[in-house]
Structure 1
Amino acid sequence: MVKSDDSAKVPVLVTGGAGYIGSHAVLALLDKGWDVAVIDDLSTGFRWAIPDEVAFYRGDIADAELLARIFAEQGSQAIMHFAGSIIVPESVSDPLKYYDNNTVKGRALIAAAVEHGVPHMIFSSTATVYGEPDLKPLQEDLPLSPVNPYGMSKLMTERILADCSRAYDLNHCVLRYFNVAGADPDARSGQSSIGATHLIKVAVESALGKRGPVGVFGTDYPTPDGTGVRDYIHVSDLADAHVLALEALIAQPERSLTMNVGYGRGFSVLEVLDAVDRVVGQPVPRVMEGRRAGDVPSLVSDNSRIMETVPWKPRHDDLETIIGHALQWEKRLTGLRDGQGG
């Protein structure tokens, strides 16, 4: 297992650092003393999510001229790549958007890293690359067969990275996320997008009267209660995993990594909503609806590889803790929007 090494810190460029997961990665890096810069086009992110001490560049990750300037000014030696589109049903209805944002622009970013000698990259991938395999929980070496354009667009970028790591002086880590939820325990950041589709975000908004009943999409899946089962991971634990993965790349530049990031257990939609009821102290209204395009019955991680490879010790692996932090953030978010804008 790779140990943490404070002497190996390098300047890091975070793409999509004004967004949900990216902003938490920025906080995790800053908390551990890394030098951080952010590029974000603010199409879904928020300028106020980036701490004042972080160099910020508003722009597109496919803008080669802007990337060249960032690398020259910041001396970036690593990239954490979060920028992209993430809504599964939207990827089914608008696949070209996903292949552009997630694959074409990902390729442009990788090309810029190679051209300017940036040696390390962490890539934000997804458990949806597994498709609907028979084996559960999901292991990294399973055959990959995404069933929606979102998953395929991410898988294509994984393949580009793998080929480039063989051809050029670039090592990388692919982190395949499961269902990310919650917010920074100190309420410095959280999921802030209007109209978000993530279940826990939707449920706490509903509990606070910010939206109507929670839609339960699909009650006839082959799961214990008929609703979809997911492995929910706290966003701050996920951010910590990124920092540890970067340390591992720096410590062993000759190798690349692919690792699941999840807790290794799943909760159904109804189980999550029941937990929200307990945390908020009242029932959250819900309505049963048909399945959404592109959804799969169950996604639960085998996380043994990351546990064995880096010293990752989740600090918030409790469903009600995740919900509590999401609720705390949602209460603070109204003031941020009213006072500072996007």
Structure 2
Amino acid sequence: MKIKTLSLKRFRNFKEMEIEFGDGLTLVLGKNGVGKTNLLEAIHYLGTLRSFRRAKEKDMVSFGEEFFEVKGKTDGLEIKVLWMAGKKNIELDGKRIKKVEDAFGKLLTVAFTSHDLFLIDGPPQERRRFFDMLLSKIDISYLSDLIAYRKVLKQRNALLSREEIKEEEMNIWDEQLIPLGERIVQKRRELLKDFREKVKNFFEVLSGKKLEIIYNPTFDPDKGMRGELLARREAERIYHTTLTGPHRDNYIFLVDGKDAKKFSSLGERRALAFALRLSEAETIREKRDEYPVLLLDEVIGELDRTRVYNTLKLVLSYPQTFLATAREEVLSTEGVNVIRIDTEDGTPVIERSY
């Protein structure tokens, strides 16, 4: 899968811009603050309908404007997203799409950014989000279950917030929550069977250390969700929230047997974050039988020189990779596509060399 063209209107610091992309490796060069990350963010947004910076869409609108539009053409599809007044208008080949899941993953992307350290250092929801995004990219039914689960969970928590709770009402929401929660947990377990080995291998190449991934669901998947949900009923009434389910699961990364969040060095955590993204890309390639577009935002600036070269060896086999960096001196521009971004009166100016 490749992105051929990108058109932006009122997106971040790009008031209006159109650009064509080539195959293979594209270096996105320029000083800090000129819009390199914004360009990669726009490509990622077309595929996931969200920012890899975890930004709200209102913050992605150019200053003083009221909307943004991102449009791109892939190998065989045109995707357009118009955001205005808190609402998305999504079109595929000119036809409006009502459900987010119908447009999600039409452009497959994997973004490597400095924010990926939160996968190790951050709270459990960061790790859940990573695996949920990956599973949604390779299995659209997982995304549908996840959306449905969150809707039911919201209603169940609203019921738990009441002073008086009728048991029959709780049972109604339980009957909807349980099958969704069990399917989500089962698919998370199945993913890890192959994914775990990929991450371990990539991490060893990048760091020389051993890795283990532990998945801790809130209920025993072999016994089902119902028993644990009933066992915590009184506690839920006290805390006014649902205490059992995939929304409270956790993943733990062990480096040489120790919790990476607590004991690993910064270099090891960066290598682990990068290994997770590489494994995401390879999993998508295998499960979807398509190569995702790789988006690397300043990651070479965070690894030592040896790991820079290891990084390039691992990603150059992909049909289309974008690598944004201000460190032009560590890379050769010979034989690759180059996009240089400069600013003129605060407006990005793009030069291409293909």
Superposed pair shares fold, TM > 0.5? no
**Which structure dedicates a bigger proportion of its chain to strand?**
2
Structure 2 length as normaliser, TM-score?
0.27
State the structure with more CA Rg: 2
The one of the two structures with greater contact order (alpha-carbon pairs below 8 A, sep at least 6) is 2
**TM-score normalised to structure 1 length:** 0.28
